[in-house]
Amino acid sequence: MDYSKETPILVKNFHYDINEELQTKNQVNFGLKEVEKQNEDGSVDEGREGKYFDVTVIFEVAPAPGQFTVSGMISQIVQIKDYFGDGSDLAKTDYQLLSRPLIEYIETLTYEVTQITLDEPVNLNFQANF
């Protein structure tokens, strides 16, 4: 599968909480929704080279030992080259490929925040649920 990133990654929300009681959680969900892309002149891109999709990851993660929880929603618009389906027939490996840049962004945000808040950065390593 070949795709192009049409927009920068958008952090719709990101939340960090210290847990009063230790708890672990790993809820990472992937969404894919077909969208129309607007051209700079206001017209709609017809998608002759492939359809456009809003790739979204919604997450709530409290890694062991459960000191903190990060949660939020992050998304990006991509065009899947030479693909004209609705997204439901893509392979799990395609979903992983589409979500990986977003997952890496969540990992980076968490690393940076925990470096400041805990004086020791935490490396997350996870995948979205499909």
25-80 pLDDT tens trace: 999 999 999 999 888 888 888 888 999 999 999 999 999 999 999 999 999 999 99
Q: Are strands 3-5 and 10-18 parallel, antiparallel or unpaired?
A: unpaired
Is 128 in contact with 98 (CB distance < 8 Å)?
A: no
SS3 97: helix
SS3 98: helix
Helices (H) and strands (E) in the chain, counts: 1, 5
The pLDDT tens digits for 75-109 are 999 999 999 999 999 999 999 999 999 999 999 99
Q: Which two tokens stand for residue 101?
A: 């840049």
What pLDDT shows up at residue 130? Answer: 57
Residue with the bigger pLDDT between 98 and 130: it is: 98
pTM score of the predicted model: 0.88
Is 19 in contact with 66 (CB distance < 8 Å)?
A: yes
- Report how far apart, in Å, the C-alpha atoms of 20 and of each of 17, 55, 113 are: 9, 33, 18
Domain ranges of the chain: 3-117
> What is the C-alpha R_g of the chain?
17
**Using the 8-state DSSP alphabet, how is residue 51 labeled?**
-
CATH number of this structure's domain 3-117, picked from the four choices 3.10.420.10, 3.30.390.50, 3.40.50.1100, 3.40.50.720:
3.10.420.10
